[in-house]
A and B are shown apart, each in its own frame.
Chain A
């Protein structure tokens, strides 16, 4: 472990490889400058799923997405996370992909992958081809004039909603980042996806005790029923009491450079009845300030409707269909 860290610390050209499902693709396109890969799979401590004293759960960074989604404690206490993971990629990829790698995966922006087009994320200062180009899949929230890319993960949308915490090990010691602070907005540094520093590794992800196993739903809207990235996805979780909603969480995927949460909307729902009009009002709060581009204006209306629908679905999780499709 120290060995791996030490190597990764030598230079940026050393990259950790976990499942390899994203990194190897990037290398085939000659997008990463990794000169040498450090196989971090040999770090045994990062593989486990273990209960925490405060009632939470620790997910090893090297535990695969599949192991995590099907783990009995995740299924029973954090079904929202399980559903979100299973809505992503394909069974084969989830068997290889790790939790740490999922947080670190890069955008699927077409231009990012094509080294012969300008892209500030790939080549800082070269411009953003997506802004004036084909941007149907791009962001509507938190964009900048430098980058409008979307962070593509499903798992992370649920982690954001669940208030997860990212545990980090590095040459300067260990540290923790709340999930909301892990991924970044593009601003004028779109080449940075997140706040992990060079030489640091994710060791695990902590889930707080509160897992919302009663009222939750993950909805993913995309161009085919499986094996496609979200155009819009929503993770919703509620705690309900006699007087209505006592706690609400709503996070969006496919709309921004990081999972998108607007706590005002959640606060608004507190104490309200779990009914459509309130969900519509919450959706309006969340989508306030959304900015569309030429081909993705539909995402604003779609996101609103998806939030409302997913809130309704969360009230009755039994109606949910495989693949995070809209319920019947």
Chain B
């Protein structure tokens, strides 16, 4: 439907409006129920027992003391577990990297510290947790390695596989990097070290499995993919796909940790099937550190430029941790050449398998890692050249993606730079490091660029006009707190010409129309397009029905000759000819009109373009000259991400990413002790994320960007782009303030003493 026409007929479209999230009331009043809050009758509680060694074998498990505790039902372990799927493949979920997925309780082998090795089931969580301490496990131990830095010599290329579809390997080299770098009059190099991070969403991973008898299960799970979990459970436990229903109505944050089914799902289902009872398994905060994490990395950069600042040589190499059983990869080194059109490039990405659990996508995986190295090396180059860092970006602005030799479907990064700089007051920056101050504080300005690929996956949605003439839409997609419910409702309402209150979007249930896992910033483009497609199919059905009515004035109308507005279908040629949805339903014998449709990315067309959201962040820091303490006093992030469906929820995404940037650059780290092969700060008192007192003035700009290629909605997604640029901008601002270039994250203030 032509948008202008619709606007004329029904007022302002909802898409583009800053609508508050529709489930906000439920969330702030506590009415929203999360997976651990479905209090079904006769519930049993499972508590996971974790290995206390890093590598070796379980010799024996003595459960007698635990089982003597009143309330304890049983202890499951590798020695007494039910038989499970035989092939590793059956444990592979939609997000499984190449390798053999971890299989809980497969055998007595311990592959990493904290591995779940048993499940104690009792009639209360507290009893289960206490009794779990009485289970005595005897191991033989083997030597292990968990230290990336100490094992870099073992780096090797990752295995190929399906995963490379969304995570392509490094681009091929161009020209002759070594020669060009050698010849470049200006050079900047860096070694960047990032530690392990854990997602730590506020909501703990919990599964409540309701046993419906005869192998039928209703599972309330914390996940980013209901269908993914349904598939996993059906495969692993040999159940019929349709007998497994996974529901996830609210998700208290996940940040990637819910992309793969986590082991509490496995345990809850196993116990429910075996005991034929309802079973809940909750991981405690400590156990939230016993599955996926952002892998530690070491990166090396070498950039060369001409005297006038043209980058001629780009080299970016990364070495990342993975587990011994899967080759988890992320896109770390592919960005530099997408941003800067150098003629000579060299990119490498290698893995070191260690005795840890497989890493897992964590918000802006790879991007937030790689862009720190790229953008801080660009910053260094700017200082060497004595060119303003922003100017250097403009000198090297890529009009097309040289790494794949394709045009961008749209790219308004220049506007991000200019509008962001303007809003921030970048022109007040004095070029020299340590040249700005405020009392005891050195003041620094830093900026950096962000980029994140705009992806779309196939997804389905179902739409129907109810007997009351209202619209119902559903999709199995989750809402991980991003505002999915709200934006899908907006899209559907506009498509059908309805006010928001006439639309109900239901989601988070594997029974509903298929949706992929919710991640990679691709939900709006994938599921949003499916919602649009389902509505379009519904419109055709409505027209078809209208044509069958006696004396129908629509008999000769084609679908592009009608609009859907004001709860009606209206003839464009003659707006006095219309039929309301309730009349259509009446004509349909008061039966619901339904449609289900797929939205597929238009692969052939898309292949011709690079598609990415862009951003630019500008940051002011104050560093106490004597004590080193760092405050991010101001920051502006300007984003070009295509059509913004809802500026309010989108802004919240970017703000969240900016807070996380402060976290990444200055706060969070999982501390390891490699002598024990384990993490040491497995709680959120010691795993530091920012507190209110760390957050000052944050500003978001969405620049206008029209994209007719990327998908039907013109959206690029905003989930990760907020975390792409700003960590590096913080490091760059610290350099400007202090003259110290710290390339290790998080930056500790004592490094500035």
Query: Which B residues lie within 8 Å of A328 (CB)?
Result: 438-441
The stretch among B462-470, B503-511, B557-565, B688-696 that forms the contact with chain A is B688-696
The stretch among B61-69, B260-268, B675-683 that forms the contact with chain A is B675-683
User: Which residues of chain A from 278 to 315 have a CB within 8 Å of any chain B CB?
Assistant: 298-299, 301-302, 305-306, 308-309
Q: Bound complex: CA of A326 vs CA of B667, how far in Å?
A: 18
With A133-B673, A221-B627, A305-B753 known as contacts, the answer to whether A116 contacts B52 (CB < 8 A) is: yes
Give the distance to chain B from A38, nearest Cβ to Cβ, in Å.
Answer: 20
Q: 9 closest A-B pairs (Cβ-Cβ)?
A: A225-B693, A298-B750, A226-B693, A110-B680, A328-B439, A116-B52, A226-B691, A326-B624, A225-B694
With A111-B680, A129-B673, A302-B753 known as contacts, the answer to whether A223 contacts B627 (CB < 8 A) is: no
Residue of B nearest to A323 (CB): B693
With A110-B681, A114-B680 known as contacts, the answer to whether A224 contacts B667 (CB < 8 A) is: yes
Asked if A108 is at the interface (CB within 8 A of a chain B CB), the reply is yes
Query: Which B residues lie within 8 Å of A268 (CB)?
Result: none
Query: Which A residues lie within 8 Å of B19 (CB)?
Result: none
Query: Which B residues lie within 8 Å of A133 (CB)?
Result: 673, 675, 680
Q: Bound complex: CA of A114 vs CA of B748, how far in Å?
A: 24
Asked if A182 is at the interface (CB within 8 A of a chain B CB), the reply is no
Query: Which A residues lie within 8 Å of B441 (CB)?
Result: 328
Asked if B671 is at the interface (CB within 8 A of a chain A CB), the reply is yes
Give the distance to chain A from B688, nearest Cβ to Cβ, in Å.
Answer: 5
Asked if A325 is at the interface (CB within 8 A of a chain B CB), the reply is yes
A223 contacts B629, C-beta separation under 8 Å: no
Residue of A nearest to B133 (CB): A30
Give the distance to chain A from B469, nearest Cβ to Cβ, in Å.
Answer: 49
Query: Which B residues lie within 8 Å of A110 (CB)?
Result: 671, 680-681, 686
Asked if B631 is at the interface (CB within 8 A of a chain A CB), the reply is yes
Asked if B626 is at the interface (CB within 8 A of a chain A CB), the reply is yes
Q: Bound complex: CA of A90 vs CA of B722, how far in Å?
A: 28
Query: Which A residues lie within 8 Å of B440 (CB)?
Result: 326-328
Give the distance to chain A from B187, nearest Cβ to Cβ, in Å.
Answer: 31
Residue of B nearest to A30 (CB): B133
Give the distance to chain B from A315, nearest Cβ to Cβ, in Å.
Answer: 14
User: Which residues of chain A from 15 to 65 have a CB within 8 Å of any chain B CB?
Assistant: 30
Residue of A nearest to B126 (CB): A28
Among A223, A305, A323, A326, contact of B748 (Cβ-Cβ < 8 Å): A223
Asked if A173 is at the interface (CB within 8 A of a chain B CB), the reply is no
Among B676, B749, B750, contact of A117 (Cβ-Cβ < 8 Å): B676
With A231-B750, A298-B753, A328-B439 known as contacts, the answer to whether A108 contacts B686 (CB < 8 A) is: yes
Query: Which A residues lie within 8 Å of B667 (CB)?
Result: 223-224
Query: Which A residues lie within 8 Å of B681 (CB)?
Result: 110
Asked if A96 is at the interface (CB within 8 A of a chain B CB), the reply is no
Query: Which A residues lie within 8 Å of B749 (CB)?
Result: 221, 223
Query: Which B residues lie within 8 Å of A224 (CB)?
Result: 667, 688, 690-691, 693-694
The prevalent SS among residues of B at the interface is loop
Query: Which A residues lie within 8 Å of B686 (CB)?
Result: 108, 110
Q: Bound complex: CA of A132 vs CA of B673, how far in Å?
A: 10
Query: Which A residues lie within 8 Å of B52 (CB)?
Result: 116
B631, B671, B692 pick with most chain A CB within 10 angstroms:
B671
Give the distance to chain B from A108, nearest Cβ to Cβ, in Å.
Answer: 7
User: Which residues of chain B from 651 to 693 have a CB within 8 Å of any chain A CB?
Assistant: 667, 671-673, 675-676, 678, 680-681, 683, 685-686, 688, 690-693
Residue of A nearest to B682 (CB): A114
B753 contacts A223, C-beta separation under 8 Å: no
- Other A-B contacts than A114-B680, A228-B688, A328-B440, 17 sampled, CB-CB below 8 A, are A108-B686, A110-B671, A110-B681, A111-B680, A114-B678, A116-B678, A134-B671, A134-B672, A221-B627, A225-B693, A226-B691, A226-B692, A227-B691, A231-B750, A302-B627, A305-B753, A323-B693
Number of interface residues of A (CB under 8 A): 34
Q: List 18 A-B contacts (CB under 8 A).
A: A108-B685, A116-B678, A129-B676, A132-B675, A133-B673, A134-B680, A223-B748, A224-B667, A224-B691, A225-B693, A298-B753, A299-B750, A301-B753, A305-B626, A325-B629, A326-B624, A326-B629, A328-B440
Query: Which B residues lie within 8 Å of A108 (CB)?
Result: 685-686
User: Which residues of chain B from 688 to 733 have a CB within 8 Å of any chain A CB?
Assistant: 688, 690-694
Q: Bound complex: CA of A112 vs CA of B52, how far in Å?
A: 15
User: Which residues of chain A from 82 to 133 have a CB within 8 Å of any chain B CB?
Assistant: 108, 110-111, 113-114, 116-117, 129, 132-133
Q: Bound complex: CA of A309 vs CA of B440, how far in Å?
A: 10
Q: Bound complex: CA of A228 vs CA of B691, how far in Å?
A: 10
B629 contacts A221, C-beta separation under 8 Å: yes
Give the distance to chain A from B126, nearest Cβ to Cβ, in Å.
Answer: 10
Residue of A nearest to B130 (CB): A30
Per-residue A-contact encoding for B426-447, CB less than 8 Å = 1, 0 else:
0000000000001111000000
Q: Bound complex: CA of A66 vs CA of B162, how far in Å?
A: 57
Q: Bound complex: CA of A176 vs CA of B594, how far in Å?
A: 81
Residue of A nearest to B631 (CB): A225
A113, A223, A224, A325 pick with most chain B CB within 10 angstroms:
A224
Query: Which A residues lie within 8 Å of B672 (CB)?
Result: 134
Give the distance to chain B from A320, nearest Cβ to Cβ, in Å.
Answer: 13
Residue of B nearest to A108 (CB): B686
Among A132, A227, A299, A309, contact of B626 (Cβ-Cβ < 8 Å): A309
A302 contacts B629, C-beta separation under 8 Å: no
Query: Which B residues lie within 8 Å of A322 (CB)?
Result: 693
B673 contacts A134, C-beta separation under 8 Å: yes
Q: Bound complex: CA of A324 vs CA of B671, how far in Å?
A: 26
Query: Which B residues lie within 8 Å of A231 (CB)?
Result: 750
B691 contacts A306, C-beta separation under 8 Å: no
Residue of A nearest to B663 (CB): A224
Give the distance to chain A from B104, nearest Cβ to Cβ, in Å.
Answer: 20
Query: Which B residues lie within 8 Å of A30 (CB)?
Result: 133
Query: Which B residues lie within 8 Å of A302 (CB)?
Result: 627-628, 750, 753
A305 contacts B627, C-beta separation under 8 Å: yes
Q: Bound complex: CA of A215 vs CA of B676, how far in Å?
A: 48
Q: Bound complex: CA of A116 vs CA of B683, how far in Å?
A: 16
Query: Which B residues lie within 8 Å of A111 (CB)?
Result: 680
Q: Bound complex: CA of A20 vs CA of B107, how far in Å?
A: 40
Per-residue B-contact encoding for A220-242, CB less than 8 Å = 1, 0 else:
01011111100100000000000
Query: Which A residues lie within 8 Å of B685 (CB)?
Result: 108, 227
Residue of A nearest to B662 (CB): A224
Residue of B nearest to A309 (CB): B626
Give the distance to chain B from A113, nearest Cβ to Cβ, in Å.
Answer: 8
Query: Which B residues lie within 8 Å of A117 (CB)?
Result: 673, 676
Per-residue B-contact encoding for A122-164, CB less than 8 Å = 1, 0 else:
0000000100111000000000000000000000000000000
Per-residue A-contact encoding for B592-633, CB less than 8 Å = 1, 0 else:
000000000000000000000000000000001011110100
Residue of B nearest to A27 (CB): B130
User: Which residues of chain A from 173 to 210 have a CB within 8 Å of any chain B CB?
Assistant: none
Give the distance to chain A from B287, nearest Cβ to Cβ, in Å.
Answer: 12
Among B627, B688, B690, B694, contact of A326 (Cβ-Cβ < 8 Å): B627
Query: Which B residues lie within 8 Å of A225 (CB)?
Result: 631, 691, 693-694
Q: Bound complex: CA of A22 vs CA of B629, how far in Å?
A: 28
Give the distance to chain A from B482, nearest Cβ to Cβ, in Å.
Answer: 26
